[in-house]
Amino acid sequence: MPVLLCNNINLEQLEIMLNRYDMVVRTVAQGEHIPGSFWQPPEAGLVGNTLYVRDDTPVHSALHEACHYICMDSQRRETLDTDAGGGYDEEDAVCYLQIMLSKHIVEMGRQRMFSDMDAWGYSFRLGSSQAWFEQDAEDAVEWLQLHGLIDDNIQSAWKLRQ
């Protein structure tokens, strides 16, 4: 099964969710360059608080890049253009948060996010994103809680890292 693309969802769901983080979603015409795309099109791009997507951008990519914005500190957000940077712990937190937030996109949800992450080649010690999320992601949860991005009930705090 191919990964879920932005043209397969109601993009307004993504826009509403990311607006809670003071992010803006901009669409780019098919065949056009995606500004801020680190991995190049069709992958999502980040410039400042703007997430750029095309119809052929995978939803997991859009959520992943958005979660980089959420997880980076305010200093990096001020100069963000293409390369989100961050270390290993932050990358794990980004992956965990993208899975958490996937439930806010009706067509995506957690199971589809797991499937799409695995299909795209995300790599985890336990062999799958679901196994990692359910059995080996304590460090990511601690990191997200330390930075106030999720609460004690492991729910989004709808805040940006400071």
16-28 pLDDT, tens per residue?
A: 999 999 999 999 9
Which residue type does 30 have?
Q
pLDDT digit string, tens, across residues 63-76: 999 999 999 999 99
In the 8-state DSSP scheme, what is residue 9?
A: S
Alpha helices (runs of H) in the chain, residue ranges in sequence order: 11-19, 59-71, 74-78, 88-101, 109-120, 129-135, 138-146
| Average pLDDT value for the chain | 95
Indicate whether 1 pLDDT > 80.
Answer: no
Per cent of the chain over pLDDT 90 is: 92
pLDDT score, position 125: 77
pLDDT score, position 124: 81
Question: What separation in angstroms does the CA of 77 have from each of 26, 48, 72?
Answer: 17, 6, 7
For range 129-153, the mean pLDDT:
97
Which residue type does 48 have?
G
Backbone φ, ψ for residue 93 (5° rounding):
-60, -40
Please give the helix or strand (H or E) that residue 46 lies within, else none: strand 45-47
Indicate whether 9 pLDDT > 80.
Answer: yes
pLDDT score, position 39: 86
pLDDT score, position 71: 98
Residues linked to residue 52 through DSSP beta bridges, in sequence order: 26, 45
Going by pLDDT thresholds of 50, 70 and 90, the confidence category of residue 36 is very high
% helix / strand / coil in the chain, to the nearest 5? 45, 10, 45
pLDDT digit string, tens, across residues 76-126: 999 999 999 999 999 999 999 999 999 999 999 999 999 999 998 887 878
pTM, whole model, 2 decimals? 0.95
Indicate whether 161 pLDDT > 90.
Answer: yes
- Where is pLDDT greater, at 54 or 41? 54
Please give the helix or strand (H or E) that residue 92 lies within, else none: helix 88-101
The number of helix segments (H) and strand segments (E) in the chain equals 7, 3
The first and second tokens of residue 31, run together, are 């065949």
